[in-house]
Structure 1
């Protein structure tokens, strides 16, 4: 089985086509200022007069696109402020749930680029040792273990400057079938662990002149909820609220610390093994490498950011504005409350692998 989840099944040649791909193509062509201004220049090269209707329309379009891009830049500047200076040779990156999936991918990229990376997880790293990455066995739901490992990281690697809260588990049961132990485990891993790591690692960042970056991995499920994900949705809603509140506090008290909120849709990782998206065109499964690229770009630039993938995740907050009747219709069309019926999960996929001669299945933290 591939290291970051099962291969994406493609029923036909057009299966990779999605609304996200179309938007990406349009954004780099028809809706890009450079391309937009080429059109009137081409008309002028054909000796078309400036007052000709095609010339006026193309200039108006290019002006609108250019003003839109300028407005987006101003919006980001107001929302996130100026970036901090990032020097990877001086950064110490802590990633929770980094032994597999998205966390492992980010860890390996930064390790190969010369950064100092510490991975915290209850399971061994899927790929064994990775260059530049130091593994620490740690259950992030235990604040005493987090404090102990933080002291070891400080001693071995230096003061952490980047914290990526990525640890997560999915149980995938209806609320009436969840035991109290499972509820506590889910909320501890998906929500309380963020408080523990932030309380442990943030003080050192606050004291550092160079500041730091906090990355929070949440989910669109925290906004819309879903059947068989009551515990997970509640935790992710809390994580998003925690991040926004923390960002507001840090802007006032420690403006040299940047915050990045990641809100993906369904990721192609073992965490959601078996879940099938009802529409690959409107709601494509997100590949970890695509999310990792956005997260790494935000960290490298030293800026705060709000990352949401795929396209619908960027507009998911508008769902709450819809009348409740339309919300019900949208849920049925999207299949959000039936998608978990085929859920196998990381433990289930490991068990299947064990039956084929692999190792015994276990539930591991991390996307």
Structure 2
């Protein structure tokens, strides 16, 4: 389908607020600004949230790698509300070359920290919640030297899918949107990599698509892929499709070795 890009922001209906976990950079910041522009009281959680003080947003310091910060940061947000799980960082290394500290910090930032904080936030909000989770196409694509990053993104997508019956039982109006985006033009996310950001998706454009999808969602759960076009002349244009994807085989296409023929019984 063609991605929706509404020219006039729709009214937030009965939702009053948005809480963005990881809204200080890249797609998270674009999602927070779009929420603000759509009339939502937008609370932004992040390690450098104070830099957003002049943005019309409501910053709260949260360090997902610090258990004390995860446990003590306030979770009172305007409700009913959208809750966005966007926090993440990229790592391109073989697992053998990854340090113990890198494993621990990336896991806290991308999985255990958000899960523990989300646990507190969901328990505190009594009115309907619409959880928008930004995972990644790396959760199902074949990658090289990204095993830890891909594994954490797959874990994020899996826990959110399995939250669906819990949230549905908690309130019939609760919703979950799982977004798996492809490559975004966020240079400070891909630090040290020589990439053609001109052929990657604009985070502001993708943020508007995500909000349009969430605003139109009526089912309890929707999973969406937002991948970048590689067609000449359209490089980086977002392409939207619905539903989960089967994980790709780890081998390069065409290199998989056929299994040996079974030995006949005498």
Helix, strand or coil at the partner of 2:89: coil
Gaps of 5+ in 2: 4-10, 228-238, 257-266
- Compared with structure 1, are the counterparts of its residues 125 and 108 closer, same or farther at alpha carbon in structure 2 (3 Å cutoff)? farther
Matched, 1:135 2:59: yes
**Structure that is richer in strand per residue:** 2
Among 110, 113, 120, which residue is 1:193 paired with?
113
Cα deviation for residue 255 of structure 1 reads 2.5
Residue 276 of structure 1 is aligned with which of 195, 202, 212?
195
Aligned to 1:105: 30
Q: Which residue, out of 9, 13, 17, partners 1:92?
A: 17
Give TM-score, length-normalised by structure 2.
0.75
Aligned partners of 1:126, 1:275: CA distance in 2, in Å? 28
- Please name the residue that 1:168 is paired with: 88
Q: Does 1:326 align with 2:250?
A: no
Deviations 1:284-331 (A, max 9, x none): 5222123201221133335443221114986882454x69663658xx
1:194–1:239 Cα contact (<8 Å) kept: no
Matched-pair contact (CA < 8 Å) for 1:319–1:327: no
Question: How many residue pairs were aligned?
Answer: 235
SS of 1:192 mapped into structure 2: helix
Q: Give, in angstroms, the shift of residue 249 of structure 1.
A: 2.8
Of residues 308-317 and 181-190 in structure 1, the stretch that sits farther from structure 2 once superposed is 308-317
Q: Which residue of 2 aligns with 1:307?
A: 224
Query: Given the alignment of the two structures, is residue 297 of structure 1 paired with residue 224 of structure 2, yes or no?
Result: no
d(CA) in 2 for partners of 1:277 and 1:294? 22
Larger Rg: 1
What secondary structure sits across from 2:148 in the alignment? helix
Task: Map Cα deviations across residues 113-159 of structure 1 (whole Å, 9 max, x no partner).
Answer: 3311111111246665211x1111111233432343224xx2xx545
Any runs of at least 4 consecutive aligned residues in structure 1 with deviations exceeding 4 A, and if so which? 124-128, 311-316, 322-325
Checking the alignment, whether the CA contact within 8 Å between 2:111 and 2:155 is kept in structure 1 is yes
1:252 to partner: Cα distance: 4.0
Q: 1:117–1:327: structure 2 CA closer, same or farther, 3 Å change rule?
A: farther
Paired with 1:177 and 1:277, the residues of 2 have a C-alpha distance of 26
Name the TM-score, length of structure 1 as normaliser: 0.56
Alignment of 1:1-367 (within 5 A): 24=2, 86-87=12-13, 91-124=16-49, 129-131=54-56, 133-151=57-75, 154=76, 158-159=78-79, 161-205=81-125, 207-208=126-127, 211-269=128-186, 270-273=188-191, 274-276=193-195, 285-301=200-216, 303=218, 304-310=221-227, 311=239, 317-318=245-246, 320=248, 326=253, 328=255
